[in-house]
Amino acid sequence: MDKRWFLASKIIIIFFLLTFPEISGAKSTDKKQFLKEYDKIDKLIKENNYKRTKKTFKLFSELEKKYDLTKIKSKQKIAFLYFNICEGKINFSEIINHEVTAKVCEKAYILNSKAGVYKIKNAKWLEMYLIDSVAQAYTQHYFISNDKKSLLKANQNTDKILENLEIKKKITMLTM
């Protein structure tokens, strides 16, 4: 009897571990549900005159934790999700981990680039905002940790900003 009870209790435990995503670590790949939740957050932002808040930052962060975004095909929404998480880490985190912030903002920059967001009219500000955020976060991480890789990444992103300023200056001079 003890062996059966022991075996039954182990089977029940394994069943619960596998069926509860919070416990098992499994993330959802349900695109329809992801888009539904995403749109609710987007609606909150629109209702708040397009201002993102600590609440929307937390909701976007929860979405990122809940869904396997590598398996959901919605490039622009996922790119915008990471932009919001980046911005939230900068504006709303009580304790800022500069290295984590830099990596999230860098991911947002890359995803927005791959989604073609920077090619949209009047979206250059987003590209510059993300590059600047990455550069600042890596610079701050370097000052705290003396990590040479962070200094290199900060310099690379600062160079991108300067290149864009040079391009803008040349275009302005040509149109005069």
What digits encode the pLDDT tens for the residues 117-163?
998 888 888 999 999 999 999 999 999 999 999 999 999 999 988 88
Q: Rounded mean pLDDT of 39-54?
A: 90
Residue 61, domain member (yes or no): no
Residue 95, domain member (yes or no): yes
Give me the phi and psi of 67, to 5 degrees please: -115, 145
**pLDDT above 80 (res 83):** yes
**pLDDT above 60 (res 17):** no
Residue 6 has a pLDDT of 64
Residue 29, domain member (yes or no): no
| Structure tokens that stand for 24 in this block | 């098992």
Distance CA 57, CA 68 (A): 18
Distance CA 63, CA 26 (A): 13
Residue 136, domain member (yes or no): yes
Q: What single DSSP character describes residue 119? A: G
- Beta-bridged to residue 70, according to DSSP, are none
Among 111, 70, 61, residue whose Cα is nearest residue 88: 61
Query: For the whole model, what pTM was predicted?
Result: 0.76
Residue 10, domain member (yes or no): no
Q: In terms of residue numbers, what domain contains 82?
A: 74-175
Rounded to the nearest angstrom, the gap between the alpha carbon of residue 151 and the centroid of all alpha carbons in its chain is 22
Distance CA 25, CA 27 (A): 6
Range name among 13-17, 52-56, 73-77, 166-170 with the lowest pLDDT average: 13-17
**pLDDT above 90 (res 3):** no
Number of structural domains found in the chain: 1
Distance CA 58, CA 55 (A): 5
**pLDDT above 60 (res 68):** yes
- Within 48-123, residue ranges assigned H as helices are 54-66, 75-92, 98-114
- Give the model's confidence band at 93: pLDDT under 50 very low, under 70 low, under 90 confident, else very high: confident
- Give me the amino acid identity at 115: A
